[in-house]
Structure 1
Amino acid sequence: MNPFCRMGLRRHLSAAEIVEQAVFARRLLSNEVGSITNVVFMGMGEPLHNIENVIKAAEILVDEQGLHFSPRKVTVSTSGLVPQLKRFLHESNCALAVSLNATTDEVRNWIMPINRKYNLGMLLDTLREELHLKHDYKVLFEYVMLAGVNDSTEDAKRLIDLVQGIPCKINLISFNPHSGSQFKPTSEEKMIEFRNVLAEGGCVVFLRLSRGDDQMAACGQLGKPGEVQAPLLRVPAQFRMA
């Protein structure tokens, strides 16, 4: 489970409930901001834990008789459940985003415990193999930047090496602090430096700075403050002083 989601597991949504959210949003906002063109499965837990209903909902979203979104505009985000990820790539033409967030197993084991089951090597090798079979398809790697944890120049250089052979784009995301979190955001200046190293290494990279943090609606903030307290994970020795 991605450590930046704070709501806790209640239950899985049905395919109809998932689609209804897009239908409702389209009705609610179409007159105010124009037509909705993008849908992203994220922020309410791990989508691939509910893979049956997610694939069904995605099919309806892109079907001509459904909501007729472009498959490139419907994205499913995952923390890296390898078997489900493989099934998704086989059965769906919708876009895939993978929360990477670290360049070593030691750090990813700490901030994303799913890595203890599906480590970086397994995850990235699977993507390398599966995407070789898909034409004109790129995965989006999401990389939430955490001060003193995963934002060094060495991390940037390792990231370049890790994604070699994988058709991809990298999205650098500003972390939004909240009560109960042990992480701090990387400065904007350091994020730009990190981005520049990746770009110079030949990566396609985007920079996403903070949005919605004043409403507790930004990345890592979804949920009522204090409602769910995520467990504080053991901090590797080299990061304890930081």
Structure 2
Amino acid sequence: MQQILRAAGLESHSAKQYSVHDETVIVVDVAGDAQQMWRSARAGLTDHYPVLALPSFLVTDSDFHHAITPGQLIAQAATFDVEAYLTRQPGSPMPGARNRDPEILGTGDEGYDLAGYDVASFGEPEVLVIVPRPEPWAAFAYLDAYASLMGVESELMTGAAHQWWERYGAVPTVIGLACGFTVSRPPTELADAERLAAEHVAIAGLTAGTSIRAYARALMQLDHWTLYNRP
């Protein structure tokens, strides 16, 4: 553990190891600037991935772990059809969904608040979790997205995060009450942005704060996302 903490630049922080089924994660208490801790760990780790968590019990309390192991979940997520699952949900905003609500879709002129899409507004993360895999999206195999997915297929967020990583370079920074991502390649085409906006809202219904089409315009300008829903 100490070798990993040194590589992450976090050797002076209080940390413990926890088991997530058959794998061990390192849980580091947040002290000071949580985002700076994340950046330090992200820069220093090559075969592990760091992610902040709020609340901490998502990893420290086994009652909140997924029902299957991280390895099993990653394998199942690889074949999970995210688009089909989201499209068939009642009230889905996805293209091709039955009874797609035109009011939720909007016209695109409803407006949006770029400053409002900040995961920091949901509170300071309590811990930084270092998972034993380098793939950013795999962090969701160890931590359930509290407000988005509790009680829903565990493969969904792992599979969606994998797709977003491939399509947009999106990596999770915070998992918990709200899930934060940094994004290196935001969508540049409106149709692609509208599909992404529908995915976000289908997974976490309170994310957009406006219509799907207006939120899509915001996504074309943002280098970060915040997915949120009430549990």
Same-fold call, TM cutoff 0.5 = no
Where relative contact order (Cα < 8 A, 6+ residues apart) is larger, the structure is 2
TM-score by length of 2: 0.30
Larger % of strand: which? 2
TM-score by length of 1: 0.29
